[in-house]
Amino acid sequence: MTTAPEHTSSNGHAQAVDRIVENVGQVIIGKDPAIRLAMVALLSRGHILVEDVPGVGKTMLARSIAITTGCDFKRVQFTPDLLPSDVTGASVYNQQIGQFEYRPGPIMAQVVLADEINRATPKTQSALLEAMGEQQVTVEGVTHTLPSPFMVIATQNPIEYEGTFPLPEAQLDRFFMRISLGYPEPSEEVSIMDGREATDPIDLLQSSSTPSDIIALQQYTDSIYIDELIKQYIVDIANATRSHPDTTLGVSPRASINLMKGAKAFAMLQGRDYVIPDDVKAIAVPVMSHRVLLSPSARMRGVNQSTIVSEALENVNVPGASGGRITAPVTA
């Protein structure tokens, strides 16, 4: 396989992201890979579904990212009685001026935590669809643009099902990736206890960048070069999930687009201004697995969605391995 030579034009941007990851890592100890995946989503203008057991730092991850990037933060605790207007805001009649005026909801923040999203009714869950897909909300027929950068970080407990409403496929597809933090290592858990013995590390956390810095990083990520062979590689992986015998529904074209964008961001984090197949492989499972709908027989056998994507990666030929040449971007 032929790979492109290393370039250094992304090093400064990669170092900027490293500073963000290091800063968030002061609070979320020992979870740098998960933090980097969250940064891939943020730089790709995507949203994250954090699926994990209680108490492992899902909420802290969202708060830490907001503080570190200098972004506005709002938290919405999803419950069965939450209304769509509690998320998007509502038009309220102002007697002084004699007309209705829009009172923004928490969705108008730059980083929005949708905590325990699967506890709200489908009607309330759907209030997020327009915001996540088009970065705007429509209230009483009037469209309101959301701030930039904008990111929804939703959490849910994969174990507890009583009193929950599973996210429909249409909403799952809006999430750029699904990640899990997992339990810390014993030594890391001791460090976590030490850090919270007298205070909370998040109270001492300072921003290391600004919203404008994040927007600039997003724009640079858009310019990362990706070869046509790698785009075809992504499509082949998507098609492999669609034709897999254990799936009722494979990934959507939106998944292919997100995998392309995420591979660009991952390449930038590695200090490169072009994508290689390993970038695609590194993020394929978190970007694609939650979009796969398993067949009933596969669920009965205990097959999981990540296995489907992993098998697709194994069965699809890597570009360059069979004579195709991946080219680096032409630089002056």
Residue by residue, DSSP assigns 287-326 as HHGGG-EE-HHHHHTT--HHHHHHHHHHHSPPTTTTS--P
pTM for the structure as a whole: 0.89
Which segment of 185-199, 241-255, 315-329 scores lowest on mean pLDDT? 315-329
Which segment of 74-88, 134-148, 229-243, 313-327 scores lowest on mean pLDDT? 313-327
Does residue 28 fall inside a structural domain? yes
3-state SS track over 31-87: CHHHHHHHHHHHHCCCCEEEECCCCCCHHHHHHHHHHHHCCCEEEEECCCCCCHHHH
* Mean pLDDT for the stretch of residues 43-64: 92
Check residues 186 and 168 and name the one with the higher pLDDT: 186
Per-residue pLDDT, 171? 86
Distance CA 277, CA 166 (A): 33
Boundaries of domain holding 140? 11-185+209-314
Distance CA 212, CA 14 (A): 16
Distance CA 50, CA 47 (A): 10
Does residue 198 fall inside a structural domain? no
Distance CA 313, CA 233 (A): 10
- CATH label of the domain that carries residue 39: 3.40.50.300
Does residue 321 fall inside a structural domain? no
Does residue 75 fall inside a structural domain? yes
Is residue 2 pLDDT above 50, yes or no? no
Does residue 152 fall inside a structural domain? yes
Check residues 11 and 188 and name the one with the higher pLDDT: 188
pLDDT tens for each residue of 221-240: 999 999 999 999 999 999 99
Does residue 200 fall inside a structural domain? no
Q: How many domains does the chain have?
A: 1
Per-residue pLDDT, 243? 94
Distance CA 156, CA 293 (A): 18
Q: What is the DSSP letter of 235?
A: H
Distance CA 260, CA 229 (A): 12
Distance CA 123, CA 139 (A): 15
Q: Which of left, alpha, beta for 307 (phi over 0: left; psi -120 to 50: alpha)?
A: alpha
Tell me which residue of 105, 107, 79, 43 sits closest to 266, measured CA to CA.
Answer: 43
Distance CA 170, CA 181 (A): 24
Does residue 110 fall inside a structural domain? yes
Does residue 293 fall inside a structural domain? yes
pLDDT tens for each residue of 240-277: 999 999 999 999 999 999 999 999 999 999 999 999 99
